[in-house]
C-alpha cells in the first residue's frame, strides 16, 4: 500500500506520519505543495499536521490555494481516502472537503498534551478496527482546534454518522479541551472517504512515547 503525504511550507509532522505508516508496512511518498498531480499509485493521501504558511491569515486558509490542492480535489472526487491530521483537518475544512471550521481554542492558548478520546463511530474505513465507545489516549497539539458548525449542519453530521471522535476523560465522560461543539475531535464526509481529526495518531504508535493507541486507528486504512 502506498501513502502520499502532503508537505507545505510550515508542515512539521510529515516525517512523523511517514514513520508511522512505514511501521505499518506501507511505502510512502512526500508530495511537495507545488506539485500539480498525485500519482494514481497513491492509495491513501494524508495532509499532515504543522503550521502551513505559518498559519498566517487563518489556519489552512492559505494552503487551500496551493497548486497541489486542485489535484487533492480531484483525488477526493475519485473516491479515494484522504486523512487530514490537525493542520490537515484545518486545510480540509478551508477547502470545503469537510464541513465546519476550526477556530481559536476557547482558552486562547496553545494546547500540547495527551488527551483521551471516545470512538463515536466505527462504520468507516479509518476506525473500522476499533470498538465503538472505546477510549484511547492520543496527543493533541493545536492553537486552533475549536471545531465549530452551525446547529443544522451538526444535526446532519449526527444523522449521517459522520462524527468519529469526541474528547473525553479516562472514563469516557466528555472533557472538552478547546471549546469544540459537542466535544467533537474528528469527523468525515458523507461518503466516508475524507477524514479529519485534530489529535495526532501518528504520535501514538509506540508505548515508549506514552501511547500506542494511534496504531490501531491508522491500521484501518491498511489494505493487503
Q: Could you give the residue numbers annotated as active site?
A: 86, 200, 202
Distance in angstroms (rounded) separating the CA atoms of residues 65 and 112: 28
Distance in angstroms (rounded) separating the CA atoms of residues 213 and 206: 8
Distance in angstroms (rounded) separating the CA atoms of residues 179 and 111: 12
90 in Cβ contact with 60 (< 8 Å): yes
85 in Cβ contact with 128 (< 8 Å): no
Residue 167's nearest CA partner among 221, 224, 220, 106 is: 106
Reported in sequence order, the residue ranges of 78-193 that DSSP labels E, i.e. its strands, are 81-85, 101-103, 111-119, 135-142, 146-148, 163-168, 184-188
What are 134's three cell numbers? 472505546
**Hey, is 68 helix, strand or coil?**
helix
Amino acid at each position: 500500500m502506498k501513502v502520499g503525504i502532503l508537505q507545505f511550507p510550515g508542515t512539521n509532522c510529515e516525517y512523523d506520519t511517514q514513520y508511522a505508516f512505514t511501521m505499518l508496512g506501507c511505502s510512502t511518498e512526500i508530495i511537495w505543495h507545488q506539485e500539480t498531480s498525485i500519482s494514481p499509485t497513491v492509495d491513501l493521501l494524508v495532509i499532515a499536521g504543522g503550521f502551513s504558511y505559518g498559519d498566517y491569515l487563518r489556519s489552512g486558509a492559505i494552503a487551500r490555494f496551493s497548486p497541489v490542492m486542485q489535484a487533492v480535489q480531484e483525488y477526493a472526487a475519485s473516491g479515494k481516502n484522504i486523512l487530514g491530521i490537525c493542520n490537515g483537518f484545518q486545510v480540509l475544512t478551508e477547502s470545503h472537503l469537510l464541513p465546519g471550521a476550526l477556530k481559536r481554542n476557547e482558552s486562547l492558548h496553545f494546547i500540547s498534551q495527551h488527551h483521551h478520546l471516545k470512538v463515536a463511530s466505527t462504520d468507516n474505513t479509518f476506525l473500522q478496527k476499533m470498538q465503538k465507545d472505546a477510549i484511547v489516549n492520543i496527543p493533541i497539539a493545536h492553537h486552533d482546534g475549536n471545531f465549530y458548525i452551525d446547529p443544522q449542519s451538526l444535526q446532519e453530521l449526527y444523522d449521517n454518522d459522520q462524527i468519529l471522535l469526541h474528547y473525553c476523560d479516562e472514563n469516557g465522560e466528555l472533557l472538552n479541551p478547546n471549546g469544540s461543539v459537542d466535544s467533537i475531535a474528528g469527523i468525515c464526509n458523507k461518503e466516508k472517504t475524507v477524514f479529519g481529526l485534530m489529535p495526532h495518531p501518528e504520535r501514538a504508535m509506540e508505548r515508549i512515547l506514552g501511547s500506542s493507541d494511534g496504531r490501531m486507528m491508522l491500521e484501518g486504512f491498511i489494505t493487503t
